[in-house]
Amino acid sequence: MAEINPYLSFNDNCEEAFEFYRSVFGGEFMGISRFGDMEGMPMSDAEKSKVMHVALPIGNTVLMGSDTPEAMGNVVVGSSVSLAIGADSREEATRLFESLSAGGKVTMPLAEAPWNALFGMLEDKYGFAWLINFDLGQEA
């Protein structure tokens, strides 16, 4: 089956954001490359150090991202897409929710939901929306 892996675009703070995500989820980057690694691509010296691609495995998914070159304009972070996480335990859901919301904004506190889950919504400090869900039926 096809896989869907989220790809996030940033205005010059991709590396900072991905270091934050790595501190939340753990793991190691599959790779990180910079625009300066591409030979023959015209750009300013300042852009050469920007992240062209980074990948962080999270479970069976890979969270990917990059900075946006000046020629492509600024990224406008919106609320049309959310990143949904299915936690393996109540503790993991709580930890992820608290970690991702640090410096951001809670839009729906983590609480029991009508579909027998622990659920909450937040916007992280980079403007991305996250949905955290733990199916309470998984508890022993």
The pLDDT of 37-65, averaged and rounded, is: 90
Q: Give domain status of residue 76, yes or no.
A: no
Give the CATH number for residue 101: 3.10.180.10
Cβ contacts of 84-92, under 8 Å, gap ≥ 24: 84/130, 84/131, 84/133, 85/130, 85/131, 85/132, 85/133, 86/133, 86/134, 86/135, 87/118, 87/132, 87/133, 87/134, 88/134, 88/138, 89/134, 89/138, 89/139, 90/118, 90/134, 90/136, 90/139, 92/134
Q: Give domain status of residue 2, yes or no.
A: no
User: In terms of residue numbers, what domain contains 116?
Assistant: 82-138
In the predicted structure, residue 79 carries a pLDDT above the cut 80: no
Q: Give domain status of residue 93, yes or no.
A: yes
Q: Does one domain contain both 53 and 87?
A: no
The pLDDT of 40-63, averaged and rounded, is: 90
Q: Give domain status of residue 86, yes or no.
A: yes
The pLDDT of 29-43, averaged and rounded, is: 88
Q: Does one domain contain both 16 and 45?
A: yes
Q: Does one domain contain both 63 and 91?
A: no
CA distance 36 to 42: 9
In the predicted structure, residue 64 carries a pLDDT above the cut 80: yes
Least confident of 17-26, 32-41, 80-89: 32-41
CA distance 13 to 77: 13
* pLDDT tier at 140, thresholds 50, 70, 90: low
106's enclosing H/E stretch is strand 105-113
The dihedral over CA atoms of 36, 71, 80, 88, expressed in degrees to the nearest 10, equals: 0
Mean residue pLDDT across the chain: 92
Give the CATH number for residue 66: 3.30.720.100
The pLDDT score that the predictor gives to residue 3 is 82
Place of tokens 């969270």: 63
The pLDDT score that the predictor gives to residue 81 is 84
What does the pLDDT look like over 16-35, one tens digit per residue? 999 999 999 999 999 999 99
What is each CA distance from 54 to 24, 25, 110, 125, in whole angstroms?
Answer: 16, 15, 29, 19
Q: Give domain status of residue 43, yes or no.
A: yes
Number of domains the chain contains = 2
Q: Does one domain contain both 13 and 57?
A: yes
Q: Give domain status of residue 118, yes or no.
A: yes
* pLDDT tier at 139, thresholds 50, 70, 90: confident
Q: Give domain status of residue 1, yes or no.
A: no
Residue that finishes a domain, picked among 40, 70, 100: 70
